[in-house]
Amino acid sequence: MSRRRKSDKQKSRNETPAISPVQDTVFVRESSDSTWSEAINVKIVSSFGAGFEVSRECRLGTLIRLELALPVELRAFDHDKEVYSVIALVQHCNRIGKRADDGYHLSVIFVGKEFPDSYVENPAQAYRLTGAAQDGLWRVTECLSQFKQRQYPRFDIKLTVELGWIQSSKRMIVKEQTVTRDIGSRGVSVVSGLDAKRGDKIKFACRDIDFYAIAVVVNRRILVGEKDLLHMKFVDHKFPIERILFSPAADGASAPKPHDIFRG
């Protein structure tokens, strides 16, 4: 019996207590007397921002606080701390499913370590991005009114793409290599010399991210002194915009500039 007790004690000494991982958490303050928080599972993250799901809707332009177990190389500060506590701006909030309890998918941009003074005075204050700071985070400023979220935000991101103007009557495709002016999950605008009209179909290819789709011209904007601007919507596919915004590869390049995200 004594040998068994000794063995049990030795086993106890050799066992290492399990260390629970840091739980990523979101903290939202909707008013001076209304706050909530919940554990989250961050699905997309980079040094610029993150994407995750929450149970409640968050207004566009709201500032929130995140506590993340973020890798050191993705941090702008607090490199020696276990938890990365960062302020983030809500820029996109979509309902996941049709049911009320399906939750929402949130896309946020990191904006700093501390809340601005105006947030302390009024947590319901809406904010917008004004540009990127030298540390890689974004700067924000107050908005005069609450935003109305555009269903599919566009971003000022320059991507090299190939267009193929489908001319069914001539049984031919006129190709052109160009650059996007802005792009979102459902549509894109490109500088183009093609004589495509509204309703024409365009083969759209972005080889850098292996994306190929058919797009339809919805508008043509004439620019004086330069090529026209074609506005197109994707027919059967969604452009994977979050792969551009939050991919590790984006960290080495200049941050993309949000375009027309906030509608007041």
DSSP string, 92-152: EEEESSSSGGG-EEEEEEEEESS--HHHHH-TT--EEEEEE-TTSPEEEEE-SS--EE-SS
Task: Provide the token pair at 95.
Answer: 């309902």
pLDDT band of 249, cuts 50, 70, 90: very low
* Structural domain for 97, as ranges: 25-149
- How many domains are there within the chain? 2
Average pLDDT, the chain: 81
- The answer, as to whether pTM is greater than 0.75, is no
Same domain assignment for residues 33 and 123 = yes
Same domain assignment for residues 108 and 206 = no
Distance (Å, rounded) from C-alpha 5 to C-alpha 7? 5
Q: What is the pLDDT of residue 243?
A: 75
Segment 83-91 mean pLDDT: 93
Distance (Å, rounded) from C-alpha 245 to C-alpha 260? 15
**More confident: 193 or 5:** 193
Task: Tell me, yes or no, whether 105 lies in a domain.
Answer: yes
Task: Tell me, yes or no, whether 225 lies in a domain.
Answer: yes
Same domain assignment for residues 29 and 104 = yes
Q: For 175-207, write each residue's pLDDT tens digit.
A: 999 999 888 889 999 999 999 999 999 999 999
Same domain assignment for residues 31 and 132 = yes
Longest Cα separation, the chain = 95
Contacts 24+ apart (CB under 8 A), 213-218: 213/237, 213/239, 215/187, 215/188, 218/187
Same domain assignment for residues 137 and 29 = yes
Task: Tell me, yes or no, whether 3 lies in a domain.
Answer: no
* CATH code at position 63: 2.40.10
Task: Provide the token pair at 130.
Answer: 């004004």
Distance (Å, rounded) from C-alpha 224 to C-alpha 70? 47
Whether the per-residue pLDDT at 264 is higher than 80: the answer is no
Whether the per-residue pLDDT at 235 is higher than 60: the answer is yes
Last residue of a domain, one of 121, 149, 177: 149
Q: For 116-145, write each residue's pLDDT tens digit.
A: 999 988 998 999 887 777 777 888 889 876
Q: What is the pLDDT of residue 101?
A: 78
* CATH code at position 194: 2.40.10.220
Task: Provide the token pair at 117.
Answer: 């003074």
Same domain assignment for residues 102 and 170 = no
Q: What is the pLDDT of residue 21?
A: 61
Using DSSP, how many helices (H) and how many strands (E) does the chain show? 3, 19
